[in-house]
Amino acid sequence: MNQDWVVVADDLVKTYKMGEVEVNALQGASVKIARGEVVSIMGPSGSGKSTMMNILGCLDRPTSGEYMLDGEVVANMTDDQLASVRNRKVGFVFQSFNLLSRQTALFNVELPLRYAGQVENRRQRAADALKAVGLEDRMTHRPTELSGGQQQRVAIARAIVNEPAIIMADEPTGNLDSKVGKEIMQLLLNLNKERGATLIIVTHDPVIAAQTQRIIKLRDGMVEDENMQNGGVQ
């Protein structure tokens, strides 16, 4: 079967040196994720989920191992090239929203377009993204004037505005109550359905993981188990 892989990571190792002590956050993890797939990453605290997410999102470099994101080998890229890859191919959704608190929702969503050097239609595209997450009437609000769920929607709009190959969410519902969390999860799944966005979600919540096509289980920096469900590939 000839698959269209967005993420191909092989034997990822990440070692943190803390003085004399070495911490092996990842020790030989391999993952492949197909275009359009919805994957969750689970595992106990400290098992290396965030570390893996940061490497897959090109925020960090592995100590060793191969990684190809959407056809680009990122191993030897400079910091600025990595920045460009993040800008074009990855949309991040964080647990703590990470919005610029002094700026409007619209400005926050525009930010990736600014760094992409996009001048034309910037406002329009940001407005469209906000509409896609159901916030067309909150465009000029600042984060302090929005609820937690609304803030996370702004963050999701920001993640999709550049039409990236992949959306990475590290515990996106961790700071929200279960009802709002469910809505956010639904929104992400809808974006996957409507736009075909690839989705990787780190979560502790089995209910959320159950909504994804595949669960990657990490333990001590290694992939312990890949659990197919809901018609996943492979």
Ligand X SMILES: Nc1ncnc2c1ncn2[C@@H]1O[C@H](COP(=O)(O)OP(=O)(O)OP(=O)(O)O)[C@@H](O)[C@H]1O
* Residue ranges in contact with another protein by CB under 8 A: 54, 57, 59-60, 79-80, 83-84, 86-88, 92, 94, 98, 100, 102-103, 111-112, 114-117, 119, 158, 162
| Residue numbers 51-110 binding ligand X by CB under 6 A | 51
Kindly tell me which of 50 and 108 has the beta carbon lying closer to Mg ion: 50
> At closest approach, how far in Å is the CB of 56 from another protein?
12
Rounded (10°) angle between helices 122-132 and 105-115: 120
Which partner from the list ligand X, Mg ion, another protein, none does 73 bind, CB cut-off 5 to 8 Å by kind? none
Kindly tell me which of 96 and 230 has the beta carbon lying closer to another protein: 96
Structure token pair of residue 3: 């698959």
Q: Name the nearest CA neighbour of 188 among 166, 204, 206, 217.
A: 166
Which partner from the list Mg ion, another protein, ligand X, none does 46 bind, CB cut-off 5 to 8 Å by kind? ligand X
From CA 64, how far away is CA 177, in angstroms rounded?
38
49 binds ligand X (CB under 6 A): yes
Q: Tell me which of 5, 14, 47, 50 binds Mg ion, using CB under 5 A.
A: 50
From CA 206, how far away is CA 215, in angstroms rounded?
10
Q: Tell me which of 45, 76, 124, 144 binds ligand X, using CB under 6 A.
A: 45
Q: Which stretch binds Mg ion (CB under 5 A): 31-39, 47-55, 78-86, 146-154?
A: 47-55
Q: Name the nearest CA neighbour of 220 among 17, 27, 41.
A: 27
Rounded (10°) angle between helices 178-195 and 148-160: 20
Q: How many CA atoms lie within 13 A of 134 on its CB side?
A: 12
> At closest approach, how far in Å is the CB of 113 from ligand X?
29
Q: Are 223 and 33 in contact (CB under 8 A)?
A: no
Q: Are 218 and 28 in contact (CB under 8 A)?
A: no
> At closest approach, how far in Å is the CB of 33 from ligand X?
18
Residues forming contacts to ligand X in the complex (CB under 6 A) are: 16, 18, 23, 25, 43, 45-51
